[in-house]
Amino acid sequence: MLFNFIITNLNFIAFIVWIIFSFIVLARFIHPNLVKNISYSILLAVAFFLHIFYGAFETFAQYFVWATGSAEMQIFLSTPLPPEAPLPAMLQWARIYFDHPFGYFSYYVLGRFWINILILFLVAGFLYVILKVWNFYRGRFIPKGPEIMLISFLISGWPGLLVLLPVGLIFWVVFFIYSYIHGRYRVLIEPAFLFATPVALIFSNYILSSLHIAQLLSV
């Protein structure tokens, strides 16, 4: 069944979609005439939509699996969150919102699917504000430069964004050294991050797991 295939391979499908999307954004930057009808605002909206759609589909898929599963699985759809279920100390105030028949399911999908999306939006939004303020006072970015950077942040996801930041800076240093040797002393940071984005996508899980960061950030 196609739906079961999609559920089983959803993470891989999402990975392929983000890789393709990252190259579309890169092509838009390098050869704007190829996709001149697609603005960065549209690409930014698509990036947000893909994250929301992924979370919504994962939520529906989880509900489908439990609703059509065994009686033991179906219990999870009508059970409040148990008192012994862990919640971070700063979120203990939210426990009351899981004290209803759909509570355990809400808690599960929030921690499993949505929390990383919410963290990504908050961190990426915070970095975007910093870039906009910097651009306002310093004017170092190209037109739509902060938006291009925000697209890269969203493509990398969370916690992949933690890999993109140092990798993007490494790419920028390499580009700077190359340009300096050839007599050009200003290097844009936007292309460095666009080229670093697929690299961060491909290797973020390996890098984070090897540094034992993924376990620390898991919810």
pLDDT value of residue 50? 97
Taking the C-alpha atoms of residue 62 and residue 73, their distance in angstroms, rounded to an integer, is 11
Q: Is the pLDDT of residue 219 over 50?
A: no
For the record, the structure tokens of 67 come out as 């609703």
Mean pLDDT of 22-47: 89
Mean pLDDT of 171-181: 87
The whole-chain average pLDDT of the chain stands at: 88
Taking the C-alpha atoms of residue 111 and residue 103, their distance in angstroms, rounded to an integer, is 12
Over the stretch 57-92, which tens digit does the pLDDT of each residue have? 999 999 998 998 888 888 888 888 888 788 777 777
Over the stretch 108-119, which tens digit does the pLDDT of each residue have? 999 899 999 999
Beta strands in 96-157 (DSSP E): none
Q: What residues does each domain of the chain span?
A: 2-217
Over the stretch 40-58, which tens digit does the pLDDT of each residue have? 999 999 999 999 999 999 9
